[in-house]
Structure 1
């Protein structure tokens, strides 16, 4: 209606087609009418413009005669619009909805750095607010019309504060310009089983530009990656060899891949070209369900025939296997990866990502059909050396009739792992190999004019980090806090921090810009991505460093943790060294984990650094923490600054509001209990779960209030565990008393039900399925598992909050369950 009213008041000839129900004017009719009439403005649909561009390029001259073209009803392909604007066609559009009317318009006065389709608000800024949607795309925003805005008229709001959430996502381009690009609708987003998200619209738009493509649909909901369905334009392919058609289409797909996030790419094997039947498909994912399932089944189970070179079974050697791996890697990620001579370099550092790792595994499965490759094989063996050795070993088993001694095999693996861990410790403990990253000779004087502490902290948008920051800010002795936050800019960092506090019901009034400095950071960079001038400020001022951030991943190998976690810690230790050099008053706090010693056969003592790798959890997470504890201790002893290592056990929700992260494995198990109606009967004999607010206060207590007593050795190890133990059976009874209905079964029955029931493997319906591999491994190892006692006497004497920690009883479990119900994680 808005377009129709505009045409009435337009001062000039306007040609309007009569719209008959079920009939839309053909493009030929529109072009003929424009050439015959004196109309100089065209109001039309984006599809009309796209068809003129693709199939009638000679008629672009007709569009150039118009004062402007105005389209509405859908988005115009950004590539086609850009080409037309570059050719001199004036394209205008407006954005709005039935409920709100016109909210934005394009501007005919756009400067060269503003995209042709960027729009400015046509209503007062005070009538709207933006919601940060960086979960969709960095710096993305969702538009909300405030309650009482005139444009809402009598429309009732659809969110709690009375505002109206439209559901469309925007990106301010350029930043600060006030111009916004429409990204698409939130409900257009494809959510993959991996948790990644794809916006299909730009991909489809790029491929739809191809002259041989009539229609295209990206499919991938609840799948690990996308596939694509293509309907051919029969008129355009009639006179073209089919090989030329397919090459052209795949060129367009590859172009779309170049422009989209890596997890959204389309593999060549995941393209399905529909038969030329002229059939109309209304619900693609339902009507073509069989074809879609076939695509995924063929890819994941390696049913396609490979044309790559292969070798006979007796030719398998290091050279032949490595040759196959190299060719397969090129097929998975292209020829542009930066190959090195170092066979121990992780594939993930030379261009591989999760999606291409999936493809690499599928290609290798075709090359080595006699081996049943695990789905996480590339995560476990992600270097040429480790993958080659693994494949040779598995191939040798095929022809080998000799049984291998399991114990000897385990010892050999463990020794190899010890060697790898020790090499990491030696590499990152060599302080002289990590020189200063700037010239700080001019830094003078003591830390602050006032007496008090200046803090640098990581991980403040996570659960434990948020509470540690809260407890620090509640301490009047804390003068300033530098927060290293993974964010695109300072505003994004503030937004993430405030969201974290709000989600956990923490007091946001503490977040004062007078005390907090947000530094958008990359821990993998030696200066965290900062300029030398900015980096020098914390060097000059910081007295307490709290390193809380860590990759929460129980499936990946050590290599995955090296850059951001292990090396990231060393970069913080470098800053501590520079600060200590200038004011000798630095205290480093590393938040570690009981996973560093969880397999110990004896009691685990406090204030002792672990040295036996076999006592650690033998995955990337546990071993990376083990390595880093040792590295921190070496740096502390060589440089002289104080070090507290805080080994934290299972952290549960806080004891006041009951907020508990829904992505942790315990939370997911409890959600699974509602779905599957069962829970395993054996988890751990003694649980030391600790509320997150108690854990945070304990760490702050120890770091700020307890002096070191040993002269010459400023290294302490604290055990942040609940001194009041409970059993798993007590937890299960408390859950049942809180209204969760389930039957208690054996671990084996619970695991079999989870793994072998198709509906329970649907991550969307049963989120615990995402951790199937973790539970499968954990429960197989738990049969002979010895649970060590972690001594806590020293830690309890250092923190009143820890010694007074309450038991995880039925009252606290009910608090957690009620919170999960309130946020709709659990069904009421």
Structure 2
């Protein structure tokens, strides 16, 4: 190839083709398609439309089709029919939907096309194609913009087809007839999850999320129930009542106008305290008091969870470069589809490094090993020999991995996170020389304490000190469990209570799917409107600084601190160099964003009307925390200061952290704009 057509600075030529090593480590590669054909969805998941389009075009009635999903909450498809007139209209629809169902079979769950997201073009409309007969994606998006926007708006708003309305109307569902309501729910949920009705009915006490429901299908199910019962249902209702039995009870005991999520808040607080008492009782039974603690300056072997996340990636990067660490085992959560080998686990870590522009060559270091892990499985899925080997070898654990979701209740976090962490604690425990165990908590676990300054100590044992959401309550439980183990069992379990992290200071890598990026992009760039958070205190900490501080704390506490020194202590990973919300808005303006500043309530009401806006996915969080009885707590939270004196005394990097100014915001904004 002639050097004159090289398109990279090093003289290489990028073909934009996508390959996958299959199987991993074999040296054999399978061509998947082209980079510009890959759809990056709103949540960051990637969809390859080519095999799906091929499957749909295999239908005898389909001439052309195009799968859509770039920056969307779900996939959809536009279908152009053949004009041979062989099939009746109803037969054509059934054949198209059968072809879509066939395409879904070999596609990952996040790529599945829902029935309501299939648009069959009228006979007079045609998809634009090139000379080879391939659909031109860019021209299609422009030509059918209104059709596509309407399809997504209708789905997010709950507008469903006339056929579905007729079917639901014929059902005449009576909400206080429990038997009829249960039968209706089983039938509809079976359809949504593509499972047998008998299977759903048999599992009516099981969380629907364990049966395959995801956030997208939850919206779909909520729309169906809302239409059938002729009632508006809160966006987080399916999360609050995630089993058939719970849904029947919640829907059957309420008049339509009284269906809300606010009456479950106190119940969740009670569940939180009951769970904490359960784990404290287990800890009292399962752990004896440690009689000797081994302080260690060098030669650490670290077990790190959450290495594929943002903070975990930066921590892994720092641990690799530390001369005081000789080995890092990275536990990578086992997936329920695809391969779960060490090679695929390492590939996931590599991809996380790429996404954050970290030095991938660091992962070639012999001190790094990836372990596919299920903390609820026997021996964590490692096998008995590896489990026992690591119990003797590992000196320190950093439990960084956690589900970040503001919709699920505390019971879901217990199953998904807390139970596994408790098993990890049992792995780390030895009556003599236990491992030092660290965990990343959240300021949301103390954000409702009702005081202006939050000390670097354990909070009162009252679940009401945490925000009224499962994520915050799960962190409250973990903090108090760790405090008990430190205080009563002399087991060195240390909490880093983390505030809002922002992107790093080098490349500005900050995921567009996180809370504030969604607000900034959805508000400042899409709505051209940002909320006035009044006197909110902004203590965002760049993730590279947070990582450096936490690794520093990990190494120093194990070298010089005993459990007696750390009883009741919590380390605050927040920026001590605080600015106002207006300072952040000014930085956004400095990046070229054009927006007006409005009252928070107005901003949320406007967002509610724009279902395709990126920030819409957090609407229930905004409504629940800000508008449904939590206003006073939120205003208090915005003004609260998490003290950092003792933390900064241990790690100097904290005081040197930069604030979010125009320079740093520009890096974030540039990073977001360059993402697919």
Structure 2-normalised TM-score? 0.80
The residue aligned with 2:224 is: 363
Q: Report the CA distance shift for 1:557/1:684 in structure 2 as closer, same or farther (over 3 A).
A: farther
Q: CA deviation digits over 1:702-750, x for unaligned, max 9? A: 3332444664985632222333433323444455567666554443454
- State the alpha-carbon separation in 1 of the partners of residues 68 and 672 from structure 2: 27
- State the alpha-carbon separation in 2 of the partners of residues 280 and 806 from structure 1: 52
Equivalent of residue 646 in structure 1, options 489, 496, 502: 496
The residue aligned with 1:302 is: 160
Does the Cα contact within 8 Å between 1:434 and 1:574 map onto a contact in 2? no
* Partner-residue secondary structure (3-state), 2:330: strand
1:599: how far off?
Answer: 0.9
1:572 maps onto 2:424 in alignment? yes
- State the alpha-carbon separation in 2 of the partners of residues 533 and 427 from structure 1: 31
The residue aligned with 2:194 is: 334
- State the alpha-carbon separation in 1 of the partners of residues 126 and 666 from structure 2: 51
Structure whose alpha-carbon radius of gyration is higher: 1
Q: Report the CA distance shift for 1:451/1:691 in structure 2 as closer, same or farther (over 3 A).
A: closer
Does the Cα contact within 8 Å between 1:460 and 1:483 map onto a contact in 2? yes
- The count of residues paired between Structure 1 and Structure 2 equals 643
Gaps of 5+ in 2: 130-138, 288-292, 335-339
Q: Report the CA distance shift for 1:464/1:572 in structure 2 as closer, same or farther (over 3 A).
A: same
Q: CA deviation digits over 1:563-616, x for unaligned, max 9? A: 442233223213113xx25x5231110110010010111353433255222221
The residue aligned with 2:405 is: 553
* Partner-residue secondary structure (3-state), 1:786: helix
1:382: how far off?
Answer: 1.6
Q: Report the CA distance shift for 1:557/1:448 in structure 2 as closer, same or farther (over 3 A).
A: closer
1:251: how far off?
Answer: 3.9
Q: Report the CA distance shift for 1:229/1:350 in structure 2 as closer, same or farther (over 3 A).
A: same
1:681: how far off?
Answer: 3.2
The residue aligned with 1:483 is: 330
Please show how residues 273-672 of structure 1 align to structure 2 within 5 Å: 273=120, 282=129, 300-304=158-162, 305-307=165-167, 316-336=176-196, 338-339=199-200, 344-369=205-230, 371-395=231-255, 397=257, 413-429=264-280, 431=282, 452-486=299-333, 488-498=340-350, 500-501=352-353, 511=363, 513-523=365-375, 525-577=377-429, 580-581=430-431, 583-602=432-451, 603-634=453-484, 640-654=490-504, 660-671=510-521, 672=523
Gaps of 5+ in 1: 1-151, 401-405, 437-445
Does the Cα contact within 8 Å between 1:660 and 1:816 map onto a contact in 2? no
Does the Cα contact within 8 Å between 1:156 and 1:164 map onto a contact in 2? yes
- State the alpha-carbon separation in 1 of the partners of residues 607 and 168 from structure 2: 37
Does the Cα contact within 8 Å between 1:599 and 1:616 map onto a contact in 2? yes
Does the Cα contact within 8 Å between 2:153 and 2:612 map onto a contact in 1? no
Q: CA deviation digits over 1:266-293, x for unaligned, max 9? A: 3344445556679786566666666666
Range that drifts further, 412-421 or 584-593: 412-421
* Partner-residue secondary structure (3-state), 1:348: coil
Q: Report the CA distance shift for 1:588/1:306 in structure 2 as closer, same or farther (over 3 A).
A: farther
Does the Cα contact within 8 Å between 1:171 and 1:183 map onto a contact in 2? yes
Range that drifts further, 309-318 or 585-594: 309-318
1:776: how far off?
Answer: 4.6
Q: Report the CA distance shift for 1:211/1:660 in structure 2 as closer, same or farther (over 3 A).
A: closer
Does the Cα contact within 8 Å between 2:173 and 2:180 map onto a contact in 1? no
- State the alpha-carbon separation in 2 of the partners of residues 658 and 724 from structure 1: 19
Kindly indicate which of the two structures has a greater share of residues assigned to helix: 2
- State the alpha-carbon separation in 2 of the partners of residues 824 and 818 from structure 1: 10
1:550: how far off?
Answer: 1.9
Does the Cα contact within 8 Å between 2:294 and 2:433 map onto a contact in 1? no
1:169 maps onto 2:18 in alignment? yes
- State the alpha-carbon separation in 1 of the partners of residues 121 and 102 from structure 2: 21
Structure 1-normalised TM-score? 0.67
Range that drifts further, 662-671 or 260-269: 662-671
Does the Cα contact within 8 Å between 2:319 and 2:325 map onto a contact in 1? yes
Does the Cα contact within 8 Å between 1:522 and 1:528 map onto a contact in 2? yes
1:349: how far off?
Answer: 0.5
Does the Cα contact within 8 Å between 1:452 and 1:478 map onto a contact in 2? yes
Q: Which has the higher contact order (CA 8 A, sep 6+)?
A: 2
- State the alpha-carbon separation in 2 of the partners of residues 342 and 637 from structure 1: 41
Q: Report the CA distance shift for 1:313/1:642 in structure 2 as closer, same or farther (over 3 A).
A: same
1:718 maps onto 2:578 in alignment? no
1:481: how far off?
Answer: 1.6
Q: Report the CA distance shift for 1:752/1:207 in structure 2 as closer, same or farther (over 3 A).
A: closer
1:644: how far off?
Answer: 0.5
- State the alpha-carbon separation in 2 of the partners of residues 562 and 306 from structure 1: 40
Q: Report the CA distance shift for 1:643/1:382 in structure 2 as closer, same or farther (over 3 A).
A: same
The residue aligned with 2:133 is: none
- State the alpha-carbon separation in 1 of the partners of residues 201 and 280 from structure 2: 25
Q: Report the CA distance shift for 1:374/1:467 in structure 2 as closer, same or farther (over 3 A).
A: same
The residue aligned with 1:261 is: 108
Q: Report the CA distance shift for 1:751/1:350 in structure 2 as closer, same or farther (over 3 A).
A: closer
* Partner-residue secondary structure (3-state), 2:222: helix
1:258: how far off?
Answer: 1.9
Does the Cα contact within 8 Å between 1:191 and 1:221 map onto a contact in 2? yes
Range that drifts further, 483-492 or 511-520: 483-492
Does the Cα contact within 8 Å between 2:189 and 2:200 map onto a contact in 1? no
Q: Report the CA distance shift for 1:263/1:574 in structure 2 as closer, same or farther (over 3 A).
A: same
- State the alpha-carbon separation in 1 of the partners of residues 608 and 121 from structure 2: 34
Q: Report the CA distance shift for 1:734/1:358 in structure 2 as closer, same or farther (over 3 A).
A: closer
* Partner-residue secondary structure (3-state), 1:164: coil
- State the alpha-carbon separation in 1 of the partners of residues 537 and 116 from structure 2: 50
Q: Report the CA distance shift for 1:162/1:587 in structure 2 as closer, same or farther (over 3 A).
A: same
1:332: how far off?
Answer: 1.2
Q: CA deviation digits over 1:385-436, x for unaligned, max 9? A: 43223323543547x9xxxxx9xx96x5333112322343355555489999
Does the Cα contact within 8 Å between 1:526 and 1:571 map onto a contact in 2? no
Does the Cα contact within 8 Å between 2:497 and 2:572 map onto a contact in 1? yes
Does the Cα contact within 8 Å between 1:558 and 1:621 map onto a contact in 2? yes
Does the Cα contact within 8 Å between 1:459 and 1:547 map onto a contact in 2? yes
Does the Cα contact within 8 Å between 2:63 and 2:82 map onto a contact in 1? yes
Q: Report the CA distance shift for 1:381/1:604 in structure 2 as closer, same or farther (over 3 A).
A: same
The residue aligned with 2:57 is: 208
Please show how residues 174-253 of structure 1 align to structure 2 within 5 Å: 174-233=23-82, 238=86, 250-253=97-100
